[in-house]
Amino acid sequence: MADSIDRFITVPDGLTLHVRIYGEANPGIPVVCLPGLTRNLLDFEDLARILAAAPYHRRVVAISSRGRGLSDRDPQPERYTIPVEAGDVISVLDQLGIDSSAFIGTSRGGLILHVLAMTHLERIERLVLNDIGPVLESEGLRQIQGYLGSRRAPASLADAAEIQLATHGAEFPALSGEDWAGMARALYRDVDGRLVADFDSAIAEQFRAADLSQPLPDLWAQFGLMVEKPMMVVRGEFSRLLSRDTVAEMVRRHEQCVGIEAKGQGHAPWLHLGELAAEIGAFLER
């Protein structure tokens, strides 16, 4: 497996973001990974090591957005927005000297890519959207609202894995016991002997307060800006956030878009499981 190094990069408003780089010396266009709403770069640990090693030999850059993982918490929670986080991505790329890259965006990370399509399309070489698209289903959004902040604090990592299994197991029958343990390690951090969810609670509070009584505006206009960029969209078989109809419409509107389904997974799929990593690796090489 490829080695990794950690960098802490300060963005223009003074916050420092945690960035992990795999296969730093690998040549070619890098791959930048953007995680979901309350997740962090550890979600990409296994996939990044696969892509950085043979036969792909890619330089992979995973970013924890502000307020997540080891990145700084924002003293002004109103700045936890997709446009601000998109600006952070560009700042990280600038400081790493990356002019253009392939992107993998999971959930909110994919929404960030829709914003970058409007502001910095030239920085996107190709992209993988993981269980996200121009239309978000209200049922999936309400599901996320429901479990954010509603789970009890775990007593141990094993307990945390059991909580995840109890909450999400029905939608992720493909996951093994070790997969649930890996999810727990990615989600929680030990702080003074106590396991805590590894994100600013203000992010969850902001999302839980969102009014979902009306459908959100769609992002087809932003999606349309990316039609000349090779695209892969991954949908979890049991996802409630991204519908099969939306994926079919994405493929119809974008002749360079390929849609695949992550069997036995919901929102959002783990991209290193099954054949997904090989399919993503092949897409990045095309």
Structure confidence by residue, pLDDT tens digits, 104-158:
999 999 999 999 999 999 999 999 999 999 999 999 999 998 888 667 889 999 9
What amino acid is encoded at 279 in this protein? Answer: E
Q: Which of 44, 284, 88 is nearest to 186 (CA)?
A: 44
The terminus-to-terminus CA distance of the chain in angstroms comes to 23
Tell me the per-residue pLDDT of 36-54, one tens digit each, with 9 for 90 and over.
999 999 999 999 999 999 9
Tell me the per-residue pLDDT of 245-259, one tens digit each, with 9 for 90 and over.
999 999 999 999 999
The pLDDT value recorded for residue 146 is: 86
- Is pLDDT at 229 greater than 90 in this prediction? yes
The pLDDT value recorded for residue 192 is: 86
The pLDDT value recorded for residue 234 is: 98
* pLDDT level of residue 215 (50, 70, 90 thresholds): confident
The pLDDT value recorded for residue 73 is: 98
The pLDDT value recorded for residue 150 is: 66
**What number is the average pLDDT over the span 198-212?**
91
* Domains of the chain and any CATH numbers: 4-135+217-285 (3.40.50.1820)
C-alpha to C-alpha distances, 8 to 35, 63, 72, 232, 238, nearest whole angstrom: 17, 10, 10, 30, 36
Q: Which of 286, 160, 163 is nearest to 230 (CA)?
A: 286
What phi and psi, each to the nearest 5 degrees, are found at residue 260? Answer: -130, 160
Crossing angle of the two packed helices 177-187 and 157-168, in degrees rounded to 10: 110
C-alpha to C-alpha distances, 260 to 92, 128, 132, 141, 263, nearest whole angstrom: 30, 11, 12, 22, 9
Q: Which of 74, 72, 47, 78 is nearest to 61 (CA)?
A: 47
Look at the block and give the residue holding tokens 């990370």.
109
Dihedral sign for Cα atoms in the order 205, 207, 208, 209: positive
**What number is the average pLDDT over the span 60-87?**
98
Q: pTM of the full predicted structure?
A: 0.96
Taking all residues of the chain, what is their mean pLDDT, rounded to a whole number? 95
The pLDDT value recorded for residue 149 is: 67
